[in-house]
Chain A
């Protein structure tokens, strides 16, 4: 269990808080997602939780133990994937993993097997500096798995990836969750959050504005809509109607009765729409 309580962080010490009173819990074996635009404080929270940023106010506990009380054994348990790939450019993909594995006392994965998992086996011998952005991102993800972590911190893990590679990474994240790994995921991709996360927290200007399972958030904050397409004078026109409104219910009945409706689709609100509704801004 990871417990974060009343987390505050002020980078410059001038009263401008990048993280302002954040609290949440992550049960073991769950995927917890932080969803928010750039600058919301997602990476700051992750930095504090991984010990990369000094804990200024609040507490972070792992299975009841304060992060400050944990020694280097803490880093034996965690894997961190960074938003901006940070690799030794002059080492090959294989070498980056091999020498990173050498830092751990416990058992580690075979670097070549990890490279196969993320689709980089053919580029194993190539220097990391020659990798594309997507390849570097995949290598950084693979590095986060090298020590068989029980807790994964993933900062924008699918950033810069094509759909195929993105799908591969998401499948691996779900697989790790199924193996009992706890995952803390930060993203501004609402589709990834919707698919992967057991719990999502919306973060805006350093504060959590909503937190629940994606489905519950949609039920609570989203309005169901129905999209009706009809052909008029040879052109296809679409109308979005909200059944919650009486006028829209009447309009829907009218369209169905007229026989003009060619297609009718029900739509639930996306996490992005809910975020916009709650914060007044988008995820971009």
Chain B
């Protein structure tokens, strides 16, 4: 009854403080990003080949093996003219004798490394065929998991939108609540009543996790409209757990600050640290051990699997457990900070 009354009060305050409006506005922005961004923004690059080799080895090898060369220039003049006219073309010039064929690849603008790598691999294969050394060695490939389709551009950011926004909102808005209560003196009145730390914490946790689920459901709905097939229950559970962690940690953290000014720089440092796993998400090669230890690392990659590749989320138990442990630790920290610091001032 105590916690429920406080939760109703905090929900009304969240509404009248404009916190709900902020969450809805951010959700609306996420909707626009998801719905309006294209699935891909990769530029298509054409190829232009010039075969100066003895006996047109490259052309014959391509024709005999069914490897298409998008376009073939008749001579160097045509090659250079067309390359100059279209900066998006990738130029391929083959020269030399059949036994010592060389291929030069050039481009008028920056070409994604992936495209160049694929072209080099194709040329290597053609050269082997041209030299008559047979197809290149085949390597056996063992898949560790089901092959995932690359996520479309407008959906790849959804886990980021969910986990980091909800986390920031929980951490920041709960601090705003606490400092407002300190400024109004209502904490003093609460201390002279049989409230206690647990209902106080439970009320704020309920409101902010509830807000994050509302936000998350809205963002997932937008993703679903654009073709995502998230595991709704698991994804929202992961979001709720992540939000609970940030809210509990944020409430405990705010207990040590006198006001918002006093909280600002330490709070900002925590938020920046929380965001570091974003770089791992964007560049998975950047995953040192200390980044993996940050709770949002597990949260964002878990969200990615549950939203963009539910079939590949078989290993979700581990991250869920780690998030649960972090949340338990945050709950203990919060309880101690609130009962021994915030409600003792």
Q: Do A and B bind each other?
A: yes
Which of B5, B9, B192, B195 interacts with A91 by CB under 8 Å? Answer: B9
Main secondary structure of the interface of A (DSSP, over half): loop
Tell me if B186 and A86 are in contact (CB < 8 A): yes
Identity of the chain A residue whose Cβ is nearest the Cβ of B3 in the assembled complex: A102
**Which partner residue on chain B sits nearest A78 by CB separation?**
B192
B12 touches A91 (CB 8 A): yes
Q: Are B17 and A84 in contact, with the CB atoms below 8 A?
A: no
Secondary structure at chain B's binding surface: helix, strand, loop or mixed?
helix
Q: Which residues of A (167-212) have their CB < 8 Å from a CB of B?
A: none
Whether B184 contacts A87 by the Cβ 8 Å rule is yes
Q: Is the CB of A99 within 8 A of B5?
A: yes
Closest Cβ of chain B: how far from A52's Cβ, in Å? 6
Taking CB atoms, residues of chain A closer than 8 Å to B8 are: 99, 102
Which chain A residue shows the least CB distance to B13? A90
Q: Which of chain A's residues has its CB closest to B187's CB? A: A86
Q: Is the CB of B1 within 8 A of A102?
A: yes
Which residues of chain A in 63-84 are interfacial with respect to chain B, using CB atoms and an 8 Å cutoff? Answer: 72-73, 75-76, 78, 80, 82, 84
B189: chain A residues within 8 A (beta carbon): 80, 82, 86-87, 100, 143
Judge if B122 is at the interface, Cβ distance under 8 Å: no
B193 within 8 A of A: yes
A91-B9, A105-B1 in contact; A86/B194 too (CB < 8 A)?
no
Inside 8 A of B5's CB, which chain A residues have their CB? 99, 101-103
* A101 and B8 alpha carbons, distance in the complex (Å): 13
CB pair B188–A86 under 8 Å, yes or no, is: yes
Q: Which residues of B from 2 to 16 have beta carbons under 8 Å from A?
A: 2, 4-6, 8-9, 12-13, 16
Is B185 engaged at the interface, CB distance under 8 Å to the other chain? yes
Minimum CB distance partner of B345 in chain A:
A52
Chain B interface residue number, banded: 20 to 34
User: Which positions 30-81 of chain B face chain A at CB distance < 8 Å?
Assistant: none
* CB-nearest residue of chain B to A146: B193
Interface residue? B196 (CB, 8 A): yes
How many residues of A are in contact with the other chain, CB < 8 A?
Answer: 30
- The residue in chain A whose Cβ has the minimal distance to the Cβ of B185 is A86
Contact of B17 among A73, A75, A90, A95 (CB under 8 A): A90
- B192→A51 contact, CB < 8 A: yes
Closest chain A residue to B344, Cβ basis: A54
Task: Give complex CA distance A90, B185 in Å.
Answer: 13
Assess whether A89 is in contact with B195, with CB atoms less than 8 Å apart: no
**Chain A: CB-nearest residue to B15:** A90
Cβ–Cβ contact B192 & A72, under 8 A: no
Q: Is the CB of A75 within 8 A of B194?
A: yes
A103 to B197, CA, bound (A): 12
Chain B residues with CB below 8 A from A90, complex form: 12-13, 16-17
**Contact residues in B for A86 (Cβ distance below 8 Å):** 184-186, 188-189
B184 touches A103 (CB 8 A): no
Please give the distance in Å from A11's CB to the nearest CB on chain B.
Answer: 13
Please tell me if the beta carbons of B13 and A88 are within 8 angstroms of each other in the complex: yes
B153-194 near A? 1/0 per residue, CB < 8 Å: 000000000000000000000000000000011101111111
The answer to whether A103 and B12 have CB atoms under 8 Å apart is no
For residue A99, which residue of chain B has the nearest CB? B9
Residue of B nearest to A128 (CB): B184
A143 to B344, CA, bound (A): 21
Contacts of B2 in A (CB 8 A): 102-103, 105
A23 near B: Cβ within 8 Å?
Answer: no
Q: Say if the beta carbon of A104 comes within 8 Å of chain B.
A: yes
A87 touches B186 (CB 8 A): yes
Q: Is the CB of A82 within 8 A of B185?
A: yes
B9 pairs with A95, CB closer than 8 A: yes
A240 to B88, alpha carbons, bound, how many Å?
109
Neighbouring B residues of A89 by C-beta, 8 Å: 184
A73, B194: Cβ atoms under 8 Å? yes
| C-alpha gap A91/B17 in the complex (Å) | 10
In addition to A54-B344, A103-B2, 11 A-B residue pairs with Cβ atoms within 8 Å of each other are A52-B192, A72-B194, A72-B196, A75-B195, A86-B185, A88-B13, A90-B17, A100-B193, A102-B8, A103-B195, A153-B192
Q: Which 5 A-B pairs have the closest CB atoms?
A: A102-B5, A86-B185, A99-B9, A75-B194, A80-B192
> Which residues of B are at the interface with A, using a C-beta cutoff of 8 A?
1-2, 4-6, 8-9, 12-13, 16-17, 184-186, 188-196, 199, 344
